[in-house]
Structure formats: structure tokens, C-alpha cells
Structure 1
Amino acid sequence: LRSLPIAALHDGKQFLIENYSLSLIPSVSLMDTNYRPLQDTKVLAMGASKFTSESPLPAVPVELETISQELWQGSKFINEEFTRNNLLNERKNYPYPIIHLATHAEFLPGLPSTSYIQLWGDDKIRLDQIRELGWSQPPVDLLVLSACKTAMGDKNAELGFAGLAVAAGVKSALASIWYVSDEGTLGLMTEFYTHLNNTKIKAEALRQAQLAMLRGEVVIAGGELRGSGTRGAVVLPSALGDVENNNLSHPYYWAGFTMIGSPW
């Protein structure tokens, strides 16, 4: 059941998220049940759009800029700046409650050292290195892994990177169980941070973002990403200028992202 997209469950009339906000809890004994509001906190947003051996992610610069400078407040590090040292040093210098990583990732069954989150160049964060990142001192309230298959796992690592991050002291992690669409992820992430400002519960912010996509309120047209609410359109990079997608409502675009750990 670890690979089941719970948000996509449907009773013939409605999706589950139309009635419930959802979170997967690997272990109640590991979960931090204390509520801490995230409003007026800062986000550390890091990622890469260019890679030596993987396909580019042209939406990542727009995603990081929009999240860290418009929808939230914080710091962004892109491409050459997306290094292990910067990730470690920035969190040491300031206790960011939210860490957002937008990049490629791969979960492979078997040895933890084979699964990774891609940094700039040839460097990778391996699955067995999560505990070395110091995300429990002080605890990261929300880790967002805007990457592929970061919530996928096997019997040796329940719920993949996200599950291990929660076990290592992160309160909540938002991650994906399949290969995600670049533009669909941009739509979901911008919606998520928009609703995170307005709701008190992380799982509810995810639900509202998924509902906005399900209802067709998030579309790509005319070189812009248009979402719900009044935040305005997001201008897409030229690499995505020809993308026209007036239907991001299919569960493929939104159901893979799952909240793991505390829903609060």
C-alpha cells in the first residue's frame, strides 16, 4: 500500500480529497504532534534546472523565485549555488522552518546508497545521508521535495526520502510517489504555498491545492500559469512558452504528492 496514491481514491462520485485532508504517518511514536504556525516564517528554496546526465527542468527557476520571493519570504539558491555546503551552511546560519528542494531524484530498491536527490554537478544526497544534514537541530517543520519518487520506498526504507526525513526529525514532508510533470509540479507548488498562507494545517493546504487543480482552476495558457485566487499569473520561461495545458485536473498532475508525518 506504500505506493498507493491515497488522494486519487474515488468512490464513483468523488475523490477522497473532496472530503478529507490526508497525511501518511509512518510511526505515531516518531511524530511531533505539537502545532507550530508557519505563517511569517522563512523558506530555504534550492534546486537545479540544468543537469549533466538528466533532462532539464525549466520550470524550477520560476518555482523557486515565485515561492521564495512572492508567495513566501526566504532565500533561493539555483544551479551552481545548489551545493551540499550551501544547504548545510544556510541551515546552520538560520533555522529555516521550511526547506524546499526542486530537482531530480530517484528511489531505487535495495541499498540506500543507490537512491539519491540530485545536487548541482555530480553531487548527490544519498538516502543513507539524510541524517547527516542536521534537519533535527532545530527540527525542520516542513520539507518539500519537489522531485520524482521521493515518497516511494521499499521494506528497507518506508516512504523513501520523505519517510526517512521524518524519522530523522523533520516534522512533515511533502513528496511524490511517481515521476512528476515539470509544469504540473509548478502549478501544484504555487497553489500549495498560496493556501499554506491561508490555512493553519499543512495537509489542508495540500488538499486545497489539489482541489484547485481538480476543478480546473490551474491552467497553462499564453505562456502563463494561471491559478486560483488573486495572486496573479506566473510568467513561464521561454522553454515552456509553447506549452498549452488547459487541463491539469487529471490525478496524474496532483495525486502523486503526499504529506508524510504530521498533518499539522
Structure 2
Amino acid sequence: MGQLCNQPELSIKDLQAALNEIAKQTGKKPAVIYTLARPTQLDLMMVTPEGETIYAPVRAVGREQLLKTANQFTNSIRDPRLVNTRAYLPASQQLYQWLIAPLRPQLDAQGIETLVFVLDSGLRTVPLSALHDGQRFLIERFNLALVPSMSLTDRRYRNIQRAKILAMGASEFKDQSPLPAVPIELDQITKDLGGGTEFLNADFTIPNLQRQHRQGIYQIIHLATHAQFQPGSPENSYIVFTDGRLNLLQLRNLRLYRPETELLTLSACRTAVGDLDAELGFAGLSVQLGVKSVVASLWYVSDEGTLALMTGFYNQLNTAPIKAEALRQAQLAMLRGDITVKGNELRTIRGAIPLPPALAVGDRSLSHPYFWAAFTIVGSPW
């Protein structure tokens, strides 16, 4: 196990005990899947709440071919010019055959419902939810999450139904394009769960985030803004606030682990993307710094797609037993056409949300994975 996940201090026995406890508390049975892409073969290892550890070597693919296919898949799915095609499907189905199919009999036999992935370098930005088995997407069967390592992951379960939200963001920027959906997004999500407080534009400052967080009344922090990850120095990557840019190094100074943050949502572009030194970007670093779960994005997401997913996600948190199930249900609502754009409205299961003129794009389906597969959970799915 140490070789595959590089965290030998967490034993199989301890991990199984944690998974067993989670299954009892949530009613959702989890499994942890480790991948190791070697030059000539792919190694898969799976730990479930009981039974032996499952090892499955995939000798049909080496690291170079695996990463090439993964890049083809991600590039085709995140290209807005291809939203009326299924250009992603061949690579999606091939990756499914390599990463999931060898374990599928055991997953089905044990009734596993949640998959937690500890992925090898080069694979961590793959939109796993859009892997396809030939009949349906992976998200149609499983709750999903990515973790940097299980030893760094908070394995305790807390119910956050009725949790309070600190929702902050900006719709106007000095030197970047506006985000006209942000005021609607903040307004909608603070009406969900246990209610919350929103701070927009002039009030969206780094000191205000620190002040509000220190009060200790918010289990969820939601930031809706621009972000950019740049390879190289940590100072080059930033989240945009009204009073300046928060870089990767400064993120440590926020001390979001004290008091504890149960969920951090980075409703901004490419917040789960990094480089070899920080491959899961802001999301991965936030988990390493003590945030339990982070919802973040893998590519530049459309405004209407983000608004649709976020409103669906927070609504589902009211009833879903775990965070990954809430995200999954929001993604499925988009995939199945239950959330769509009609004229100048976002049509949802709960009713219509008027859109600002800049987003009134006419009728638009949000069923293509470009719209819903960008967001992922990094850290605990619970």
C-alpha cells in the first residue's frame, strides 16, 4: 500500500475500520481505489470496508498511452466548441475499461456506492464522473471524490444538513471579465440549508473573509470569483478578491482549519488544477491545510453551467447523506435535462430563476459533460 499511495502510515486495517464506520453512519458503502501508472502496466488496488484488498494489474496499457488517452479525453470534454458532439466518448470508454472495468465485478458484488480515488500523477485532472461504460456515465452509478492521500483526509462523518453558509464573491472586476451570475448564485445558495450570509463585490475582501470565518458559525465557505493557477512559483497562482489577489502561499495564512471548515466551495475556474508540485491546485492545498472537503473545478466553466450546478448542489445538501451524493444528484439533474436554460430563465426542479441579460442565451441544454463534469470533490466525500 505504501508504494501505491505513498502514505504507509495508514494501514489497511485502519482504513477498513474507517470505511466500515462511514458505511454505518451514512448508509453509503465506500471503497478507496489507488492507481499506479508504471511504464508498461497500470496497477489498480482497491480497499473496501471488509474482505481482502483487491489488486488488479492492467497489462494492456503503459503510462505513456494512459496519459495520452487521459489528455485526449479531458481536452475533448472541456472544449465548448464540441458541446453538440460526443467526441469525448471513445477516450472516455477506453479509460473506463482501464480504470474501472477490472474492479467492477467486486464493486457490484459488495454493493459499493462511493468511490474515493487516490490517483497517480498525470491522472488527477481527469473528469472521472464522465467516464462511460458504453451504457451510462460513472456518475450515474457512483458517488465520487479525489483525495491527495487517505492519511491526509479527514475520515470522520458529520451531517451538514442545515449548516450555515458564508457566501462571498464578485460580479465586477477592475481587470477581468464580469461574472454576472454571481449575485444570483450567492442569493440562491444562502437560502438553502440553514441559511447564511452573503458578501458581494465591495464586501468581498480577504480581511472580511478572515473576520467572518473566525466567528465560527459557518461550516461552509463558498467563494464565487475568478481564479488562475500558474505553474511555477506559488505566488503566481491566485484567487481574485475585490481588494487584491490571494496567492497559494497566502492561502495558508487564512487558517481555514481553525475553526474547522467542513466544506469549501471554490466556484471559480480551474481551482482543482495545478502542476506536478501541487497537482490538485487550490483544492488540494486546502485539503492539506485542514479543510475537510473542497468542491472545485477542472476547467473554464460557463457561467450558466456553474449557476445551475451550484444551485442544484446546495439544494441537494438538504437531503443527501453525504456531500458527494449531493454533487452527484446535481450533476444528474443537468445530465437528464431537469436543469436547463429556457430563454432568460434557468429552469430547475424547484422553479425558474431569472437570468441577467448577459446570460440570456436562448434555449440551451446543459446535458453535455462540459457543463456538469468540471466540478469535483477533493478531500472527504462525507
Question: Do the two structures share a fold, i.e. TM-score over 0.5?
Answer: yes
Partner-residue secondary structure (3-state), 1:44: strand
Are the equivalent residues in 2 in contact too, given 1:188–1:210 (CA < 8 A)? Answer: yes
Give the match for residue 247 of structure 1: 365
**Equivalent AA in structure 1 for residue 362 of structure 2:** E
- Inter-CA distance 233–70: structure 2 relative to 1 (3 Å threshold): farther
**Equivalent AA in structure 2 for residue 247 of structure 1:** S
Give the match for residue 355 of structure 2: 236
Task: Return the alpha-carbon distance in structure 2 between the equivalents of residues 127 and 169 of structure 1.
Answer: 15
Map of 1:129-208 to 2, 5 A cutoff? 129-208=250-329
Q: CA RMSD in A?
A: 1.2
Task: Return the alpha-carbon distance in structure 1 between the equivalents of residues 363 and 179 of structure 2.
Answer: 17
Are the equivalent residues in 2 in contact too, given 1:66–1:190 (CA < 8 A)? Answer: yes
Higher mean C-alpha deviation, range 88-97 or range 137-146: 88-97
**Equivalent AA in structure 2 for residue 112 of structure 1:** P
Give the match for residue 49 of structure 1: 171
Map of 1:100-119 to 2, 5 A cutoff? 100-119=222-241
**Equivalent AA in structure 2 for residue 214 of structure 1:** L
Offset at 1:233?
1.6
Task: Return the alpha-carbon distance in structure 2 between the equivalents of residues 198 and 238 of structure 1.
Answer: 33
Offset at 1:21?
0.7
Task: Return the alpha-carbon distance in structure 2 between the equivalents of residues 23 and 85 of structure 1.
Answer: 31
1:2 maps onto 2:124 in alignment: yes
Offset at 1:72?
5.0
Offset at 1:25?
1.1
Task: Return the alpha-carbon distance in structure 1 between the equivalents of residues 191 and 139 of structure 2.
Answer: 29
Task: Return the alpha-carbon distance in structure 2 between the equivalents of residues 257 and 102 of structure 1.
Answer: 13
Number of aligned positions between the proteins? 260
Are the equivalent residues in 2 in contact too, given 1:203–1:263 (CA < 8 A)? Answer: yes
- Inter-CA distance 252–112: structure 2 relative to 1 (3 Å threshold): same
Task: Return the alpha-carbon distance in structure 2 between the equivalents of residues 95 and 108 of structure 1.
Answer: 33
TM-score of the superposition, structure 1-length normalised?
0.95
Are the equivalent residues in 2 in contact too, given 1:71–1:190 (CA < 8 A)? Answer: no
Give the match for residue 94 of structure 1: 216
Are the equivalent residues in 2 in contact too, given 1:141–1:170 (CA < 8 A)? Answer: yes
TM-score of the superposition, structure 2-length normalised?
0.66
Give the match for residue 263 of structure 1: 381
Offset at 1:139?
1.5
Match of 1:85 among 207, 210, 215: 207
Partner-residue secondary structure (3-state), 1:210: helix
Give the match for residue 246 of structure 2: 125
Are the equivalent residues in 2 in contact too, given 1:63–1:190 (CA < 8 A)? Answer: yes
CA-to-partner distance for each residue in 1:153-175, whole Å, 9 max, x for gaps? 11111300000000000000000
Task: Return the alpha-carbon distance in structure 2 between the equivalents of residues 60 and 133 of structure 1.
Answer: 23
CA-to-partner distance for each residue in 1:218-261, whole Å, 9 max, x for gaps? 11113211112xx2221222332x32243100000010100000
Task: Return the alpha-carbon distance in structure 2 between the equivalents of residues 183 and 222 of structure 1.
Answer: 12
Task: Return the alpha-carbon distance in structure 2 between the equivalents of residues 32 and 138 of structure 1.
Answer: 15
Give the match for residue 38 of structure 1: 160
Higher mean C-alpha deviation, range 103-112 or range 62-71: 62-71
CA-to-partner distance for each residue in 1:55-91, whole Å, 9 max, x for gaps? 1110000000010135651000000110011100001
Task: Return the alpha-carbon distance in structure 2 between the equivalents of residues 173 and 72 of structure 1.
Answer: 19
Indicate the percent of aligned positions where both proteins have the same amino acid: 58
Give the match for residue 221 of structure 1: 342
**Equivalent AA in structure 2 for residue 114 of structure 1:** N
Which ranges in structure 1 are unaligned for 5 or more consecutive residues?
Answer: none
**Equivalent AA in structure 2 for residue 83 of structure 1:** T
Structure scoring higher RCO (CA < 8 A, sep ≥ 6) equals 1
CA-to-partner distance for each residue in 1:77-119, whole Å, 9 max, x for gaps? 0001100111000011234110000000011111111000100
**Equivalent AA in structure 1 for residue 352 of structure 2:** A
